Structure 1
Amino acid sequence: MTVLTYAEPSYAAPPSSSEPLAIAGSLGEVIGNVKAWLTGLAVAVWGAMFVYGALLYSAAGIGTKEMGKQTMRYACIGFVLTMLAPLALTILQGFVD
């Protein structure tokens, strides 16, 4: 049995404009972008720390169980602070714009 195939080359689409993608319109836009990026990063770190604390709590002895509770508590405090930080940046952004 013989199978004949033909593959066409694929080419990238030409850019739609000549302007770079990284130009921000204002300082407020830059602050908004940084705020979104840092919030996403902080939530990812929070999730990892909470899971680590839960693993310590569920899979360990007495001393490590308390450390797991403390890690989850600190992760929740960090999450609340992470959610309040954009509020402070929004207030600062109001002064800049």
Structure 2
Amino acid sequence: MIYIKVYRVQGEVLLAACDKELLGKTFREGKLKLEVKERFYKGELVELDTLEELLEEATIANLVGERCVEKAIELGYVDENRVLRIEGVPHAQMAKMKW
């Protein structure tokens, strides 16, 4: 299960998604800090398969956790070489460019 929250602002669709067990936690490594804040990520608790249709619609995505990031890689939205890991927790961002 993952938490998802969708924001619609000025024509953009921002998707925030994180693995359920990471919600509310903070990870630090060197100067890097990743806060999986409830106010940003906690929306609807859904099955991982829901992520596919949401990523298709999203223009921007902020993803945290093994399940969320791996699914985005599998679907071709994230390059696995661009995934940031903080305390071993994967974090990826995606933006679709408009031409």
TM-score normalized by structure 2? 0.21
Name which one, 1 or 2, has greater alpha-carbon Rg.
1
Higher strand share: 2
Comparing both structures, which one devotes a greater share of its residues to helix? 1
* TM-score, L = length of structure 1: 0.21
